[in-house]
Amino acid sequence: MKARRPNRDPFLLVFASGAQGEYAGLATIRAYLNQKGEGHRTVCLIPKSAHGTNPASAHMAGMKIQPVEVDKYGNIDAVHLKAMVLVFSLADGRGRDGECWWGSGT
Ligand SMILES: Cc1ncc(COP(=O)(O)O)c(C=O)c1O
């Protein structure tokens, strides 16, 4: 990631781990939505088979996590994914305040 500081040379920021890169991506998405005036869009859909750092990074980036069901091989349950997209689209990306549903089996 190329970064700039006022009156300084630009520099490259290299993420040393998958979790750092994933957090940086989610924080970037959050900042982008905030800057667009869409900070209310807080829900992040994450498959239950995702790397364990995914929900942690999403939470650290200020998001609420909605798990998406998977089959025994870890493949995303497309029906559940579509349902969750529809539910949170209708809610305009809003989750319920203070809730994190990781592991709730919703
Ligand atoms: C999305 C994601 N997050 C986190 C990790 C964990 O990587 P690390 O142990 O380098 O933080 C991986 C590793 O593949 C990954 O794919």
Q: How many helices (H) and strands (E) does the chain have?
A: 3, 4
Higher-confidence residue of 33 and 97: namely 33
pTM over 0.85: no
Percent of the chain with pLDDT strictly greater than 70: 90
Report pLDDT for 100. 59
pLDDT at 23 over 90: yes
Q: Does residue 94's CB lie within 6 angstroms of at least one atom of ligand 1?
A: no
62-52-17 Cα angle (round to 5): 85
Q: How far apart are CA 51 and CA 55, in angstroms?
A: 8
Centroid of ligand 1 to alpha carbon of 50 (angstroms): 10
Higher-confidence residue of 101 and 19: namely 19
Centroid of ligand 1 to alpha carbon of 18 (angstroms): 3
